[in-house]
Chains A and B, each alone.
Chain A
Amino acid sequence: GAGVSQSPSNKVTEKGKDVELRCDPISGHTALYWYRQSLGQGLEFLIYFQGNSAPDKSGLPSDRFSAERTGGSVSTLTIQRTQQEDSAVYLCASSFRTGENEKLFFGSGTQLSVL
């Protein structure tokens, strides 16, 4: 696609429910990143994919968070048993190769609100 696409744009859920956030990177981009932006905070690294592999999951806050990437393209971030502190904007970014931060393209994020 022309840019990094994220869906849904906004998600409101009840505490305890599971949610799935989707990221569709730019075609051909092998590296994909998930960041979380809490209110009044900078972006916090969550996980990074090179192809379908996730070499570093150390940024995931708890075992309620998981992510996968299939076909070297679409990625899904899943949050199980959501808590109020999970409320944040979840941003996805992609680049052609790992470490090309000057060529890193961001999506518009998913605003997650847990009531």
Chain B
Amino acid sequence: AQTVTQSQPEMSVQEAETVTLSCTYDTSESDYYLFWYKQPPSRQMILVIRQEAYKQQNATENRFSVNFQKAAKSFSLKISDSQLGDAAMYFCAYFPGQGDYKLSFGAGTTVTVRA
């Protein structure tokens, strides 16, 4: 199984400020996918952003962007202009593709947004 590491159990951010969540992973593959999921108290996992490893350009979705460093096997998530609704647990996930079907998840980072 692939290893996905999120080293920050908790992060706190002031409303309207920026917060960055870190994620590192271990793989010997050259082509794969990375995801960030958001899990609010409702428990339903919501896809925030995805990145294909073969793409050099960092993915962006509105206020969410990633910093993908393939050589360093690092995949951080930046939340800009944080809003109260961003408060949730965030999971980094790795997917090998190529006929595989399992997502490997990190342990998660709880984000608190201060008003």
Contact = CB atoms under 8 A, between A and B. Distances in A.
Interface of A: 31, 33, 35, 40-45, 48, 56, 59, 89, 91, 93, 98-99, 101-102, 104, 106-109, 111
Given A40-B107, A42-B107, A91 B43 contact: yes
Nearest to A89: B43
Interface residues of B, number: 26
A101 B35 contact: yes
Given A42-B91, A43-B91, A101-B95, A108 B43 contact: yes
A31 B103 CA distance: 13
A111 to B, nearest CB: 8
Nearest to A107: B44
Given A101-B33, A101-B95, A42 B106 contact: yes
A48 B103 CA distance: 11
A99 B44 contact: no
B114 to A, nearest CB: 23
18 contacts: A31-B101, A35-B103, A40-B9, A41-B108, A42-B91, A43-B45, A48-B102, A98-B101, A99-B95, A99-B100, A101-B93, A101-B95, A101-B103, A104-B103, A106-B44, A106-B46, A108-B43, A109-B43
Given A91-B45, A93-B45, A101-B33, A42 B108 contact: yes
A46 to B, nearest CB: 10
Q: Nearest 5 A-B pairs (CB), nearest first?
A: A42-B105, A106-B45, A43-B105, A109-B43, A108-B44
Nearest to B44: A108
Interface string B32-76: 010100000011111100100000000000000000000000000
Interface string B74-115: 000000000000000001010101011111111110000000
B4 interface: yes
Contacts of A43: 45, 91, 93, 103, 105
A24 to B, nearest CB: 14
Contacts of A101: 33, 35, 50, 93, 95, 103
